[in-house]
Amino acid sequence: MNEKKELVKETKWVKVYRIGGKALSYESKCLTEGLHISAASIKSTWATLTPEEQLEFTIAFAPGLKLSAEDEEILNFLMEVGSEPVLGNLASLYARHSDRERVLPFLLSRINPLEKRCGNYYQALELLKDPRAIPPLRRVYGGYRRALEERELKPRELFNYLQCCRALWVLDGSAEFENALRAMLVHSNEDVLRRAGQLLSPTGEGR
């Protein structure tokens, strides 16, 4: 049975629907209406946008499988001025950027603090498939392991840890990281357990 879809809000870039009277769903006008977002318009208006509008842009911005020169111009600009939530939402797109020498240091610079929401950056480094990311990721992984010995990590920290394990498993190939993921299949938090199972699948998304 199809759940009722109610339009809650329409903005420049997205339509927001309420599904089944509860959950909100964001629909990109780039995907549904062919809206084109130019680099010039983003550069000229970005500073005037509210944080909510900036996040809505990241939801709407949906380049094709191959980034155009203009897409990369937008990403380059946001690399310099984007907030943490904005950059986190766009992290996977940076893995498709043609200038790996610029993107790799940028992604690695976002993964250091344990308390940050780094999962999207770990995933981006996995997609980038650059072996130079392995030593920095191993250092971060070591930080998570020490923290696990000292205290109980919050679910968000555990999600980040799991994504770090997944990235290292793919890039390094060591069974150590696969085993670290499997060890979380008995975790008391069902969301953490489910995510570990997803990341153990070939695609990292499960079924």
Confidence class for position 117, pLDDT limits 50, 70, 90? confident
Is pLDDT of 13 > 90? no
28-40 tens-digit pLDDT? 888 888 888 899 9
Question: What is the rounded distance in angstroms from the CA atom of residue 181 to the CA atom of residue 166?
Answer: 8
5-10 β-sheet, strand order: 5-10, 14-19, 23-28
At residue 132, φ and ψ (nearest 5 deg) are -65, -15
- Do residues 61 and 89 touch, judged by C-beta distance below 8 A? no
What are the beta bridge partners of residue 6? Answer: 18
Sequence letter at residue 33: E
Contacts of 125 (CB under 8 A, 6+ apart): 95, 107, 108, 111, 133, 137, 167, 171
128-170 tens-digit pLDDT? 999 999 999 999 999 999 999 998 888 899 999 999 999 999 9
**Average pLDDT, integer, range 79-93:** 94
Q: Identify the sign of the CA torsion 136, 137, 139, 143.
A: positive
- Do residues 111 and 137 touch, judged by C-beta distance below 8 A? yes
Name the maximum alpha-carbon separation found in the chain. 51
Comparing CA positions, the residue from 2, 39, 9, 1 lying closest to residue 27 is 9
Q: What is the pLDDT of residue 1?
A: 52
- Do residues 198 and 206 touch, judged by C-beta distance below 8 A? yes
Confirm whether pTM is higher than 0.95: no
